[in-house]
Chain A
Amino acid sequence: MGRHLCLKTPERRNTQAMLDKVENAPDLESLPLSDNERLKAESNFLRGTIAEDLQDPITGGFTADNFQLIRFHGMYQQDDRDIRAERARQKLEPLHNVMLRARLPGGVITPEQWLVIDQFAADKTLYGSIRLTTRQTFQFHGVLKPNIKNMHQVLNATGIDSIATAGDVNRNVLCSTNPVESELHQEAHEWAKKISEHLLPKTRAYMEIWLDGKKEMSTEETILGSTYLPRKFKTTVTVPPNNEVDVHANDLNFVAIAEDGKLVGFNVLVGGGLAMTHGETATYPRKADDFGFIPLEHTLAVAEHVVSVQRDWGNRSNRKNAKTKYTLDRVGTDVFKAEVERRAGVTFADSRPYEFTSRGDRFGWVEGIDGKQHLTLFIMNGRILDYPDRPLKTGLRKIAEIHDGDFRITANQNLIIAGVDTAQKDKIEKIAREHGLLDDDTSPQKLNSMACVALPTCPLAMAESERYLPSLIEKVEGLLDKHGIADDHIILRVVGCPNGCGRAMLAEAGLVGKGPGKYNLYLGGNRVGTRIPKLYRENIGEEVILSELDSLIGRWATERHDEEGFGDFVIRQGVVKEVKVSLTDFHA
């Protein structure tokens, strides 16, 4: 039997026990370090024996520690899981390949760069696609080992790298794409780049291994430390009122505060994060805490020292409790904040007021205050590929060939053709329409749904996600239609595992993969992404998912208040209890 809405005493007791444990936490340093700490320490600043593995023609994979170390260089070893069992019977190893995640602060990429990655995806990847992701960047899926070095060199030649887009480091820095307030966006984007550069590993391992750079053995990691961070670390720069980056999914957020259209500083939000582990109540998604306001000149110091406090205080024994959010709950937000103030030599002022009013992208054309035109395209699942009736990839290539502005990948996995001269507008729109990139009939439900990659490439996926979403959306659209609200939508997110890539833990309805065809259904996030949803039904298949949604959408359609979103409705109705403080409420 699945666990249902109202948790009974055993779970409560567990939560209480866990709280006690956290409050009386033993000195973490006395616990044995996790194996990842050993491998980082022994890696010679992320070099390991990756170069040797590249020379090994007997396997398409990386061995031992290198399997983990390549993540710090922006790659994950994966395989085609659809044919894993088949290949085992064929006495062949899994079809090992790597996924590369580029470093693209704020998701900005030029047309010249686009043409380069378009070509590489076509020539050297198993799937021939470009995948836009929630980290505002692109991924190549299915690059075989002999092509990896070439991939980095091709990217490098066009000014792109993949340093630290994965692993226990500060990853690709997000930035709102807000194309309308162009100057503010420009400033925010500059900060995103500066923060990214500032927190980047200093080791030359990437240049040496992939770009045949000169060997320099001495490296000092002044910020990240020689064993890097306890766990992954995510940073955003956000321009309200749009919360497309989902601040509460990130360890560190700089929320832009402007006066008279000029950026003056940031509210700093620390300790968000969505990853959890099924069945482990000591893990939970958690919102970020507001540390207060800082003026611009302290930005890098604060960024550096939120990182350094987490570096020193984060849990290096248990990787499942290693993220900043757990450090905050263990030591107390005030204690953590005071340490950041002490190290950075700043004092956080009271937060400046700001409001998030939306999270979605503004599809279609908008004009910026600088007079430039911006076209936001909806890209289902962020997957850019030539589909039989929708040659998306070709369309974007044709646009890139004539476009003078840039492209911006949104944190919702969509794409903005930004900075178009009015004269080019019609031409670009024509190409977009001809290639299925622009479709006026895309339903609101489609526009507000999202999935992570999952099968067949992601090794963590427990259930389908990207490949499941399109058919699920159609069925949910049917339900909305059935209840007479076809123009409305639910923020619906599907993820293949509880690790957080698709940000289901900030959805109004989130499905988290549990096993093949089985999901946990979470309800009660809100439209703007400031509330964590709560488990409603566990381990259910599509039939139950749809029948639950059918009855809930039916109630919502008839009983909702004006403009009341689905998530707010289910909380008000007590369908699920509101998660206010994750530590105490999420598993309660």
Chain B
Amino acid sequence: MILSDIPQGVSPLTPSQINQVKDLMGSMTPIQQAWISGYMAAAANAAGPIAVQETVSVEASPLTILYGSQTGNAKGIAADMAAKAKARGLDVKLVNMADYKPTQLKNEKFLTIVVSTYGEGEPPEQAEKLYNFLGSKKAPKLEGVQVAVIGLGDSSYEFFCKTASDFEERLSALGASVITERALLDVDYDDAASAWVDQAVDMFEPELKAVNQAASPALNALTGFGEAPQAVTSIYNKKNPFIAEIGEVQKITGRDSLKDVRHVEISLEESGLQYQAGDSLGVYFLNDSLAVDEVLDLLKISADEPVRVGDEDKPVRQALIEDFELTQSYPGFVEKFAAATGNSILAEIASDKAGLREYLEDRQIYDVIRQNPGDITAQALIDSLRKQQPRLYSIASSQKEVEQEVHLTVAVVEFDTHDNAHLGGCSGFLGRRVEEGDKVRVYVEHNDSFRLPENPEAPVIMIGPGTGIAPFRSFLQDREADGVEGNSWLFFGNPHFTQDFLYQVELQSYLKSGVLSKLSVAFSRDQAEKVYVQDRIVENGAELYEWLQKGAHLYICGDGNHMAKDVHQALLSVVQAHGGQSAEDAEAYLEALRDDKRYQKDVY
């Protein structure tokens, strides 16, 4: 039976209660729904309605699960752990590291860290504050605290899961005891993560229960609601992506551009998927069938040979196109492929970690196979590969403007090495291979760490060179739909004015209508000396500082390795120069902005 089936006269609930329950149900995961049914029943057996606000036990020492997520995976594991712990009646606090006061650490007894690593061994934006705090002199002694750490990363990067390791080392150094061996997981993490969570909860459970004996388990468990789940009105998510239709793919760089950037429109009609300005879209892609055929030819594997993928059988060609990673190379593949093909030269390369990384620098999986064809069975090939991970793109539209569509700004990754042309897996799919009407599997990845100010009067400063402009197109559409005028400043940069001014005509019209009040551009290669957004920030320092003093929110989107760092440095120098602050105070100034959620990043 579902709610809408309950005739009002039959149900004991009033119409407004029915609506409240519907709203609540709509916002809950199946696990939450299951839990609350039990909770309601238990509460009904006690006396009277529950006064929720009085239920939090100040004495309780809950299991605090802190997550620092870049793409939502760490958050997902953290939520899974919270649910599992709650199911055992444990008191749980699930908190985004960005929302966690580091000074609170000294009050913790049971702590789990779920954190990813991105770029060159860097913490995700959400984790940065806590990470820095733990490394600073302000960090408190943590003797008696039990911790468990799980890290997510990508083994194709040099500093694999470095952030998680650092967290554990810093916590240990402060006196905390590690109660279960940390897990450092690669992109194909699902099963291992689930096993580690079970094991970690096992380890925490006895003492947690002992410490919190006095508290009512049902009521304490309520604190697990600390983080409100997103308004999910769709049954589609990462595990169950929506099969959407491609509307339009339009190149938006000029014909003489060195970059190929595509504006991609995807229909979400009938999916019920909702997104907010700042969210990302996860995209599963199909590998290039021509390249797959080439690989099969080389390995003398027949295209329709069946292979086992998870718990289904499908032809190897289809599996390679749909399910596996063939573009982003990573060390694990080389080891397994070398072993499976008995290729000793390749095995030797794989044995030297640094050498292997260098070897993989400019090679896709395709290249490794092309250069090392050998005898391998279809199943062994599949087993040496890892499952395709969806790619996340910052959404470039607002539903207030485009309704049932979602727009992306996709830079096609393209390079020639080893006598072959290469395309990025997903960018090649979206930018070059799909046509209007084709299908693509997508889901919405919410990102509460990148949101327009609640107060529409607050000024916004948006720094988004290159495809970093995507979420700001979404912001501007949003503000236009809401009738928010002015107080908005966009910094954009790219190589050439005539070729690479993404969404130029739209931005000109936003300037004209007043939705955008200021647009500062830096076209790096239009003059002898290169000019970047950070240079524009410094040039406009006085005004920018004035905006910050007036309460402006700062946003950065785009390349995290260089741009975001250079911009951060530029911001520091602006605060120093125009706020008359020392280097340290300037750092603290930006830190405070971050704490106020006025300095948000969506970098990759």
Q: Does A89 sit at the interface, judged by CB under 8 A?
A: yes
Mask: chain A, 83-104; 1 = CB below 8 Å from B; 0 = not? 1001111111101000000000
Residue with the greatest number of chain B CB neighbours at <10 A, chosen from A57, A89, A144: A57
CB-contact partner of A92 in B504, B521, B526, under 8 A: B504
CB-contact partner of B250 in A60, A90, A95, A144, under 8 A: A90
Among listed B151-159, B203-211, B506-514, interface-contacting one: B506-514
Chain B residues lying within 8 Å of A89, measured Cβ to Cβ, are: 250
Known contacts: A58-B507, A59-B508, A146-B526. The answer to whether A90 contacts B497 by CB under 8 A is: no
CB-contact partner of B497 in A60, A87, A88, A91, under 8 A: A60
Chain A residues lying within 8 Å of B254, measured Cβ to Cβ, are: 83, 87, 90, 92, 95
Chain A residues lying within 8 Å of B35, measured Cβ to Cβ, are: none
Residues 492-523 of B at the A interface (beta carbon under 8 Å): 497-499, 501-508, 511, 519, 521, 523
Known contacts: A91-B506, A93-B504. The answer to whether A57 contacts B252 by CB under 8 A is: no
Q: Does B422 sit at the interface, judged by CB under 8 A?
A: no
Smallest beta-carbon distance A230→chain B, Å: 33
Q: Does B93 sit at the interface, judged by CB under 8 A?
A: no
Contact A58 B253 (CB under 8 A): no
Smallest beta-carbon distance A583→chain B, Å: 46
Complex Cα gap A60–B255 (Å): 17
Contact A57 B521 (CB under 8 A): yes
Contact A91 B521 (CB under 8 A): no
Smallest beta-carbon distance A364→chain B, Å: 41
Complex Cα gap A92–B521 (Å): 15
Residue with the greatest number of chain B CB neighbours at <10 A, chosen from A60, A87, A89, A90: A90
Contact B504 A83 (CB under 8 A): no
Known contacts: A91-B263, A91-B504, A93-B504. The answer to whether A58 contacts B498 by CB under 8 A is: no
CB-contact partner of A91 in B252, B498, B499, under 8 A: B252
Q: Does B317 sit at the interface, judged by CB under 8 A?
A: no
Contact A58 B519 (CB under 8 A): yes
Contact A91 B255 (CB under 8 A): no
Complex Cα gap A83–B498 (Å): 12
Contact B263 A58 (CB under 8 A): no
Q: Does B251 sit at the interface, judged by CB under 8 A?
A: yes
Main secondary structure on chain B at its contact with chain A? mixed
Smallest beta-carbon distance A68→chain B, Å: 20
Cβ-Cβ contact count across A and B, 8 Å cutoff: 49
Which residue of B has the minimal Cβ distance to A86?
B255
Which residue of A has the minimal Cβ distance to B250?
A89
Chain A residues lying within 8 Å of B523, measured Cβ to Cβ, are: 57
Which residue of A has the minimal Cβ distance to B507?
A58
Chain B residues lying within 8 Å of A91, measured Cβ to Cβ, are: 250, 252, 263, 502-506
Residues 239-258 of B at the A interface (beta carbon under 8 Å): 250-255
User: Size class of B's contact patch?
Assistant: 20 to 34
Complex Cα gap A87–B253 (Å): 9
Complex Cα gap A60–B499 (Å): 12
Chain A residues lying within 8 Å of B504, measured Cβ to Cβ, are: 58, 91-93
Smallest beta-carbon distance B503→chain A, Å: 5
Smallest beta-carbon distance A208→chain B, Å: 24
Chain A residues lying within 8 Å of B252, measured Cβ to Cβ, are: 90-92
Complex Cα gap A88–B508 (Å): 13
Residue with the greatest number of chain A CB neighbours at <10 A, chosen from B252, B263, B505: B505
Chain A residues lying within 8 Å of B255, measured Cβ to Cβ, are: 83, 86
Complex Cα gap A371–B296 (Å): 81
Chain A residues lying within 8 Å of B502, measured Cβ to Cβ, are: 91
Chain B residues lying within 8 Å of A144, measured Cβ to Cβ, are: 497-498
Contact A93 B508 (CB under 8 A): yes
Contact B521 A58 (CB under 8 A): yes
Contact A90 B253 (CB under 8 A): yes
Mask: chain B, 520-559; 1 = CB below 8 Å from A; 0 = not? 0101001100000000000000000000000000000000
Contact B251 A58 (CB under 8 A): no
Chain A residues lying within 8 Å of B527, measured Cβ to Cβ, are: 146
Which residue of A has the minimal Cβ distance to B253?
A90
Complex Cα gap A90–B250 (Å): 7
Complex Cα gap A18–B504 (Å): 48
Complex Cα gap A95–B497 (Å): 10
Contact A93 B521 (CB under 8 A): no
Complex Cα gap A57–B504 (Å): 11
Smallest beta-carbon distance B51→chain A, Å: 55
Smallest beta-carbon distance A92→chain B, Å: 5
Smallest beta-carbon distance A490→chain B, Å: 39
Known contacts: A57-B521, A58-B519. The answer to whether A90 contacts B498 by CB under 8 A is: no
CB-contact partner of B511 in A58, A83, A87, A93, under 8 A: A58
Contact A90 B521 (CB under 8 A): no
Which residue of A has the minimal Cβ distance to B502?
A91
CB-contact partner of A57 in B250, B497, B506, under 8 A: B497
Mask: chain B, 211-254; 1 = CB below 8 Å from A; 0 = not? 00000000000000000000000000000000000000011111
Residues 45-64 of A at the B interface (beta carbon under 8 Å): 57-60
Smallest beta-carbon distance B249→chain A, Å: 11
Residues 302-359 of A at the B interface (beta carbon under 8 Å): none
Contact A60 B505 (CB under 8 A): no
Complex Cα gap A146–B528 (Å): 13
Complex Cα gap A86–B256 (Å): 12
Contact A92 B511 (CB under 8 A): no
Contact B250 A92 (CB under 8 A): no
Complex Cα gap A87–B503 (Å): 11
Which residue of B has the minimal Cβ distance to A82?
B255
Chain A residues lying within 8 Å of B263, measured Cβ to Cβ, are: 91
Chain A residues lying within 8 Å of B499, measured Cβ to Cβ, are: 92
Smallest beta-carbon distance B230→chain A, Å: 31
Contact B526 A95 (CB under 8 A): no
Chain B residues lying within 8 Å of A87, measured Cβ to Cβ, are: 254
Chain B residues lying within 8 Å of A92, measured Cβ to Cβ, are: 252, 254, 498-499, 501, 504-505
Known contacts: A90-B252, A144-B498. The answer to whether A58 contacts B526 by CB under 8 A is: no
Contact A95 B507 (CB under 8 A): no
Smallest beta-carbon distance A530→chain B, Å: 46
Smallest beta-carbon distance A489→chain B, Å: 40
Complex Cα gap A59–B527 (Å): 17
Which residue of B has the minimal Cβ distance to A144?
B498
Residues 68-124 of A at the B interface (beta carbon under 8 Å): 83, 86-93, 95
Smallest beta-carbon distance A52→chain B, Å: 15
Which residue of B has the minimal Cβ distance to A96?
B498
Contact B508 A90 (CB under 8 A): no
Residue with the greatest number of chain A CB neighbours at <10 A, chosen from B255, B498, B523: B498
Chain A residues lying within 8 Å of B519, measured Cβ to Cβ, are: 58
Complex Cα gap A59–B502 (Å): 13
Smallest beta-carbon distance B188→chain A, Å: 38
Which residue of A has the minimal Cβ distance to B499?
A92
Complex Cα gap A144–B501 (Å): 15
Complex Cα gap A148–B230 (Å): 53
Chain A residues lying within 8 Å of B526, measured Cβ to Cβ, are: 146
Smallest beta-carbon distance A89→chain B, Å: 6
Mask: chain B, 255-267; 1 = CB below 8 Å from A; 0 = not? 1000000010000
Which residue of A has the minimal Cβ distance to B500?
A92
Smallest beta-carbon distance A49→chain B, Å: 16
Mask: chain B, 439-478; 1 = CB below 8 Å from A; 0 = not? 0000000000000000000000000000000000000000
CB-contact partner of B505 in A57, A83, A93, A95, under 8 A: A93
Chain A residues lying within 8 Å of B505, measured Cβ to Cβ, are: 88, 91-93
Q: What 7 pairs across the A-B complex have the smallest Cβ distances?
A: A90-B252, A91-B505, A92-B504, A57-B521, A91-B252, A91-B503, A93-B504
Beyond contacts A58-B507, A58-B519, A83-B254: 18 other A-B pairs, Cβ-Cβ < 8 A, are: A57-B497, A57-B521, A57-B523, A58-B521, A86-B255, A87-B254, A88-B505, A89-B250, A90-B252, A90-B253, A90-B254, A91-B263, A91-B504, A92-B498, A93-B508, A95-B498, A146-B497, A146-B527
Instruction: Give 17 pairs: A residue, B residue, CB < 8 Å, sorted on A.
Output: A57-B497, A57-B523, A86-B255, A90-B250, A90-B251, A90-B252, A91-B250, A91-B263, A91-B502, A92-B501, A92-B505, A93-B501, A93-B504, A93-B508, A144-B497, A146-B497, A146-B527
- Residues of A in contact with B (beta carbons under 8 Å apart): 57-60, 83, 86-93, 95, 144, 146
